Structure 1
């Protein structure tokens, strides 16, 4: 999801190349990426203009300057190309809101010469196709460009919006198709490339990338990076700000603003243990270091698995490690997603479903089976509620072609939770002694590759199903992969730890008597989530006031509790929570936590007005992705459409 961005100026055409002094060519009409393939297969990416069957980027070299005053990145991107089709004469790249100044190709002699190029008018979802004429099939092509201050994949924060209030902050979010807003690319997960970067900035900020960050690197305004493993474009990442490093293991550590770094390091101190668990199950960690960057609370997601440098929200730092499964999830991507990537966004379950399953195994190993079961039950319960309002096609793991759809909007809990539920089903049917080696072999045999659902099914039929031919039927596989909803034969998670919270809630709803504090003092976040989540649609104002007096839900720093408590207060007319709701949605930009609150507010005229006022104050500190989500919700509400 993103804001509708303004179309940039058109490119310039040349008789024998391209130059800024030449007369501008008219913008080519916007074309939908899917039009490139008459019969799209599961390996075809409808969200990209690229033609990787003809030419692919094998290596990217960036030379960029970070300008906090203008809020832009500018410089060059140089591509090492592999031409697969001897007849191909064009390189097609994805861009969004980029100003392309010139394009050059390196001849066999080593000399650089201008190449003719054309930038199409912008499609509101996919941006502008950049067509580069390369009749000599140049092995190296270089583009000089700059980003827009409104780039959908970059957020620029003024000092006042940071923890330390002294220095500005900038960070990227490339998934799903936002990398094209800060680098011209074949912006599809089907293409993987190595990269290097030279980045200059003001000397008082630290620059980091999804690459070989040196924990001992000085702040001097001049930084170099290298990523030797091939990655897809959505894992390209950059950040710059007042960042300090603290080690938490031989190959792991935390980057954060000075006021946050010690708290983050303590919260994430089990990271090295998580790596050991994952390696024992699924093979060696192949990315060198695993560091984490704690971003400002405006970060629109819980985490982003950028290799070597996970981006993480500060909203999971609660002081009791109850939400560190997020780190387990992002680490798990080092095998599922980063190592083996979905070839297109319609197969995103191969990424997120596998990762959620691996996360569960890490959580169980370190924090116990009961903790893992509680998290599974919460996920499954919320998924079953979510699919009730979803189109049937969106409930399948193997999604149909996305065509005009933004891949951000097609991503739901189906990919995460139904995908993990399916793998748990396979584990139960075959046993861990069979399923664990199978999953490890999938990662090993497809390392640093992109894959489709069809490939996984074929691999499973060859390497797993013969181990127990009667364990799973074709009809059961089809129900998981292609049918809507959750199969009736799926076993649901059932946590013993929730029996106390369920009993306490039922007793209170019947008698008004809250459970003994000795009981609730031992509850972890997951139990509070279950306690609140089972309250039903509404409570009386008096009931909410009683809960608030006892447990101080209003004003809680715990985002998982806030995202469930505040919608309940809105539905129930508990206006006493309004001031803290405003503070929460103005401080936090993580979509998972704030969108349920906005969705409840906009259902009444009074709530809609409150939401609009709060959003107006929050917008300067929101990431463009969050801004677009809230704006779309508000627009639908004002048009009379139910959220």
Structure 2
């Protein structure tokens, strides 16, 4: 299968990759690694085949805290010779160090022997007690620019490559990658992987642990620790239906298999769209399949993001805005308009909260960002997700859903396995849709969406009939009705309705009022992470001490950044909150991935 990638000259310069210093680009990786749980390191070699781009005297890779042991240049016949290479003398705190390798006129590949640091930011090494079983666990999180901490690479979303890998692990553990995967243990502990479709470095993924597999259909299945597998297969029983619904909307699934890996609870995100093997948090195992929109989101990335990828992190909205819109179309297809409407309302509320938090006039509320000189993680906010989705909803309201669906489907097909920047997308949008109708771009107010702050005034209003019933219950509660009187009307509420209910509670509730709510609805004892995360800010604000043990347990075991940041902020806002936060965090920090600790470290430092 052949795939075409735009030449580097057609892509904008990526301020977050040293590879921008060189015209030489990679096209295929042969990776050979040994996983050592004792030293918490990966060691081995990365052999990069170079694209034929004409004469180039050097190729530049991104690295961060890697030990480079040797570098060789290979000719077309595989003959290797040592190469002159240099590492930037002063590491950049965010970007790391550029690795410049001198090329001979006949060079076709570069082999880099290296090992990772025990503190590599992409890698989380878990002791057995941090898992659901009795064995250690390793997983990677490469987005946005952390692939360079476990692999010397050209760590830009605009550069794609295919790969093969050999990975050696302890014989009682299973290794998985964002590639063709095994379903059973290898007696030797050696695993071989192949990814035939080109991907950017941020989609490189590795996981090693005591894992079992359960198929759900001919092309979908679940990997999880044995203790978690049964609950996961129950929760994700509709996975094949999701894939089929996505294909019906926007064209064929291009990655052959779609499997899920349920990680231990320290995973810092809800999910990560690694091709062929989405990583998901166990916090969505609610028991009632009410949080599976997250899986629909990661599946949608198989088109928006994995198939057509933001060229730089300034263009992140092109990944996430389309994905959120697509996710909700999948959920609507499977579970109806009313279900999707709840997701839209919750998303819009999160967007307004983010705009208020960042500042309504801040350039960080633009869709097209300017992240040069900053960690691109700063752009991973609800702006890209929900403002991007709101732009597509506005476009849908102007041109109709059938026309928009045709545009999106053709967009994914035309630019498959390519990178897309904001300027190129806007050119395509105008040529294929906006210019077909005089005045359409003005009615859309496109410039205000892409390069303007806040939420433009022409964003369509969103509403939910099911939330109207929740609002009625909240009004009754405010008028003095006892919480127990609401029980019969809340029996069939989903997680989304309960979260909306908790968000709608007055911030001034007393300990006695919270105790009455808890007695009726058992929030503190809930096993649902979304409900707990919405409940605990109320208990902290009021000083409801009955919830303190559950809060501490949550913070000690759950590493999802979406939950941690608001809860630590709520904790810091309480009397003696700084001391309590520091005490809990000192114990919890080893359970968190670096993506989370970087944020919490900064948060606690701000309040020092």
TM-score (norm 1): 0.91
> Quick one: distance in 2 between partners of 1:119 and 1:125?
15
Pair 1:610–1:219, CA change in 2 (3 A) = farther
**Corresponding residue of 2:149:** 181
In structure 2, which of residues 486, 496, 499 is the aligned counterpart of residue 516 of structure 1? 486
Gaps spanning 5+ residues in structure 2: where? 1-7
> Quick one: distance in 1 between partners of 2:158 and 2:597?
29
Moved more, 296-305 or 210-219: 210-219
1:465-484 alignment to 2 at 5 Å?
A: 465-473=434-442, 476-484=445-453
In structure 2, which of residues 489, 503, 517 is the aligned counterpart of residue 533 of structure 1? 503
**Corresponding residue of 1:359:** 327
Moved more, 598-607 or 89-98: 598-607
**Corresponding residue of 2:306:** 338
Instruction: Determine if contact 1:305/1:333 at 8 Å carries over to the other structure.
Output: yes
In structure 1, which of residues 558, 567, 585 is the aligned counterpart of residue 537 of structure 2? 567
Residue 594 of structure 1 deviates from its aligned partner by 1.7
Matched, 1:622 2:586: no
Instruction: Determine if contact 2:63/2:99 at 8 Å carries over to the other structure.
Output: yes
1:276-287 alignment to 2 at 5 Å?
A: 276-287=244-255
- Secondary structure of the 1:62 match is strand
Matched, 1:307 2:279: no
Residue 439 of structure 1 deviates from its aligned partner by 0.2
**Corresponding residue of 2:466:** 497
Matched, 1:455 2:424: yes
1:10-409 alignment to 2 at 5 Å?
A: 43-51=12-20, 54-86=23-55, 88-107=56-75, 110-120=78-88, 121-136=90-105, 138-164=107-133, 166-216=134-184, 218=186, 220-391=188-359, 392-400=362-370, 402-409=371-378
- Secondary structure of the 2:25 match is strand
Residue 552 of structure 1 deviates from its aligned partner by 1.2
Residue 555 of structure 1 deviates from its aligned partner by 3.2
Instruction: Determine if contact 2:259/2:278 at 8 Å carries over to the other structure.
Output: yes
> Quick one: distance in 1 between partners of 2:76 and 2:293?
52
Moved more, 248-257 or 600-609: 600-609
Pair 1:591–1:478, CA change in 2 (3 A) = same
Instruction: Determine if contact 1:380/1:492 at 8 Å carries over to the other structure.
Output: no
Pair 1:605–1:545, CA change in 2 (3 A) = closer
Gaps spanning 5+ residues in structure 1: where? 1-36, 639-643
> Quick one: distance in 2 between partners of 1:475 and 1:365?
26
- Secondary structure of the 2:445 match is helix
> Quick one: distance in 2 between partners of 1:281 and 1:604?
48
> Quick one: distance in 1 between partners of 2:115 and 2:470?
54
Moved more, 96-105 or 462-471: 462-471
Residue 474 of structure 1 deviates from its aligned partner by 6.7
Moved more, 541-550 or 42-51: 42-51
> Quick one: distance in 2 between partners of 1:191 and 1:147?
22
Moved more, 258-267 or 550-559: 550-559
In structure 1, which of residues 565, 573, 576 is the aligned counterpart of residue 546 of structure 2? 576
Moved more, 413-422 or 606-615: 606-615
Residue 490 of structure 1 deviates from its aligned partner by 1.1
> Quick one: distance in 2 between partners of 1:546 and 1:331?
40
> Quick one: distance in 1 between partners of 2:146 and 2:513?
45
**Corresponding residue of 2:573:** 603
Residue 606 of structure 1 deviates from its aligned partner by 1.1
> Quick one: distance in 2 between partners of 1:582 and 1:108?
58
> Quick one: distance in 2 between partners of 1:123 and 1:217?
40
Moved more, 245-254 or 540-549: 540-549
Matched, 1:555 2:525: yes
**C-alpha deviations, 1:152-206, integer Å up to 9, x for none?**
0000001111101x21100000000000000001000010000000011110000
Residue 316 of structure 1 deviates from its aligned partner by 0.2
Instruction: Determine if contact 2:13/2:20 at 8 Å carries over to the other structure.
Output: no
Instruction: Determine if contact 1:395/1:484 at 8 Å carries over to the other structure.
Output: yes
- Secondary structure of the 2:121 match is coil
Residue 475 of structure 1 deviates from its aligned partner by 6.6
- Secondary structure of the 1:567 match is helix
> Quick one: distance in 2 between partners of 1:468 and 1:369?
29
Instruction: Determine if contact 2:14/2:20 at 8 Å carries over to the other structure.
Output: no
- Secondary structure of the 1:76 match is strand
Moved more, 612-621 or 185-194: 612-621
> Quick one: distance in 1 between partners of 2:506 and 2:98?
49
Moved more, 527-536 or 240-249: 527-536
Instruction: Determine if contact 1:603/1:637 at 8 Å carries over to the other structure.
Output: no
Residue 84 of structure 1 deviates from its aligned partner by 2.5
Matched residues, number: 597
Instruction: Determine if contact 2:174/2:184 at 8 Å carries over to the other structure.
Output: no
**Corresponding residue of 1:641:** none
> Quick one: distance in 1 between partners of 2:440 and 2:243?
31
> Quick one: distance in 1 between partners of 2:216 and 2:186?
20
Residue 495 of structure 1 deviates from its aligned partner by 0.3
Pair 1:358–1:53, CA change in 2 (3 A) = farther
Pair 1:131–1:397, CA change in 2 (3 A) = same
Residue 217 of structure 1 deviates from its aligned partner by 5.6
Residue 503 of structure 1 deviates from its aligned partner by 1.0
**C-alpha deviations, 1:410-464, integer Å up to 9, x for none?**
2210000010111111112111211111100000000000001111111111111
- Secondary structure of the 1:63 match is strand
Pair 1:196–1:68, CA change in 2 (3 A) = same
